[in-house]
Structure 1
Amino acid sequence: MTEYELDADDAGDGGGPATDADAGPGDDPGTVGERLGLTVPDDHVAAFVAEAFEDPELDATWDEAVGEFVPADARDEWRELSMRNRVEEVLAAADGYDDRAVELLDGIPLDREAATADVEAAFDEAMRLRRNADAFRSAIADAHAAGRIDDEGLVAAVEGYGFETDAIAEREDLVEAVTERYGLDFRPYGGTLMDTDEGDGREAEEAW
């Protein structure tokens, strides 16, 4: 599969109405609930995953995400993919944004008296990458709500890709550290992939 680059100026459609689950014989939707560390009935796992991916404040749609993600010269190849594979590609892109955001945030020094121009530039770019990652995952929830991918296909895509929340948790810890040190403004995380631990006020990673 081609490694797509973000092309925010290239609008496009979702690549057709493919909705097949494309699940192999070894795929077990129930295992996603187990990896969540929660007891979720098998027939509710997909709805739970979609809700966890959704960030209502971003109002991201599948068509918008695909339009930004897939360049014009790769549209034919994109349309040949099953919907499950398309979701896996978008999950991979979101993880890539998170990894780059973590790298930038981790490189911001916390020992300066005030935020310098380079600190602010790195933070702004990390926030752009963070927004892209969250919007892409929210777009997957939109695809599920619109019937582009069914319950079985969504669970198979998440399970097949091996989605984890480690990078999101690390990203949010770093955002908190930088903003507390320099008083920078940012939009609080709007998804539900992490729960608030009432014991110490920190966001706790869910076990995927």
Structure 2
Amino acid sequence: MARILVTRPIEEARQTAERLERLGHQPLIEPMLEIVFGGDPLPAGRFDVLIVTSGNALAALYERPEFHALTAIPLVAVGRRTGAVARAMGFGDVETFGREIAHLIDHVRQAWREPHRALYLAGADRTGDLVGALSGMGHQVELAVVYSAHQARRFSPEIAAALPGGGLDAVLHYSARTAEAFIACAGGAEAVARLPVRHLCLSRKVAAVMSATGASEVAFAARPEEDALLALI
């Protein structure tokens, strides 16, 4: 049995913790990002499609009165997990394309022959210029920022004591941003390099952030999916 630190936002971390327990491991949860719902009102008018790159965007709207009407609109998602969240929340017409925004852009370039009016539900921090890319193809994209993600500033006392003392076997890092927050909470790159723990990363990009600290035990999943990440344990 391994003691595994899960650094995802709390709702996702709980799901991962359940999986780890079923695999016979002992999970500890220490979110490096706090998801805060709120932000823009939704723009008015008819939309041909919704674009979602994170399940957090749907969760942010779930309690809003206008959410039910959105479920009747075709939805395109980045990532199978985001698509699964959409279906579980009542969306009937859901398509999933790749694992990155670039995959969605490639799909739109090939498949959307007529101009679309799209509603892009997103967080305050975004990677890539999805709005600019689709607008450049002649589509009208309305951006609605419906949540934000705040980085943790310090570890809980339990984790702060366990990490340097060898009380953990591995840390799961799911994004470059959560990895950066982990490094900051640990006291910087040199402090991370001294930790007697394995850093298991969802992708090569995330692993690059951790490797830059000088940490010796860094590995990344064969595919950027949780199944592949957990297989590293």
Same fold (TM over 0.5): no
More helix by percentage = 1
Structure of larger gyration radius? 2
- Flag the structure with more relative contact order, 1 or 2, with Cα contacts below 8 A and sequence separation at least 6: 1
Query: TM-score, normalising length from structure 2?
Result: 0.27
Output the TM-score relative to the length of structure 1: 0.29
Structure holding more strand per residue: 2
